[in-house]
Structure 1
Amino acid sequence: MVSQERAIRSRHSIIRAAAQVVDRHGLRAATLSKVSAAAGLSTGAVYFHFAGKEALASALEQEAGQALDRLAATRAHEPGPALTALVDMTRELAELFNHDVVVRAGFQVSCDRAEGGVPVLRRRLTALLRRLVEDARRDGSLAPDVAVDGVVASVLAVTIGVQILARQPSPSQETSHVLERFWQATLPGLTPGLPTTTPRSPLVADDGAGDSAG
């Protein structure tokens, strides 16, 4: 039991170290020797858990995908307008990009491995956004004359931008401001009955605007 727990801790340490290396240098420059040094383990210990760099990259992508799945599951069971769930989901994903190096690196790995194609995690994120926007169309929180494809494309673009900004030094305040400015500028045109200025929780306002949005 003790050896199994030690192995689990070592694997987690390697994944986190790999995330830090990828976050700093990118996947191409992320060698197993750099990962082992960051983890404080031998290269042999890294090979014990992962057959090679590609297996480690897959583990990072999988970890980020699981975080995305958890966000999707939370939003699926959230009461209230689907557009509120969409806004909340982007905020929570931005927080992950800012503070969880494994999620941030997992998305970066997905981009680096795409080789000009559409990254796997971007496809999954697009599907999640589309599901939320279509739910918002059905529950009436999205204005009927707003195109679903346009909303999905816009939210995807700003989310990708947040992911890129999160890799810069001291990103938290900047990425938070970018996302909030996006929603403040966008929400009045998406939701029927909203005032022209939107507070931090724009669809749950004290004056009842959130009720009219649902």
Structure 2
Amino acid sequence: MTPKAVIFDIGNVLIEWQPERFYDRVYGPDLRRAMFAEVDLHGMNDAIDRGGDFRQIVYDTAETYPHWRAQIRHWHDSWLELATPEIPHSVRLLRALRGQSVPVFALTNFGIGTWRIAVPRYLFLSEFDRHYISGEMKVIKPDPEIYAMVEADCGLAPEALLFTDDRADNIAAAAARGWQTHQFTGPQGWAECLTAHGLLTGQAAA
């Protein structure tokens, strides 16, 4: 069926999220690899995305590993440098869908504190019809509960939802509930998906 709403992940779909790249640039790949091997920074970030206090979690982790204190604190203090740049073609697709009156939602693993930082920097984050922010929901993808919460809130059948995300596990969890899905590997493939579903013309998706 033709989707009745389109759901975007944000990290690596609308905004590049590659923390390793920041640390490689600032400290070099060797030091970054050593730190990431010792400290589960992405696990730390999951706790933030579940609704934990952004600064406290990062700073507490930094105190647990005092020899990495300065580097870990960058996760908080330099967060906008970790979450950059935006992906312009994806932003155009978001706006093209809205221009066609297609409801567009965000479903993202994002902390409450990081969301407050991101929205003023990336104004397109305010353009969604509905926002599903894991920090506010207290559950992260790919937990099936978060998809069920989206369905209950928007009132649409699973098969009426078209969802894109860069992570295979998040896509698999959505597909298991009956959502239509597209694993994001770049904006051109996503544009082709939207045109194939009849939501955008080729010109509008360019």
TM-score (norm 2): 0.44
Judging by fraction of residues, say which structure has more helix.
Answer: 1
TM-score normalised by L of structure 1? 0.43
Higher relative contact order (CA 8 A, sep 6+): 2
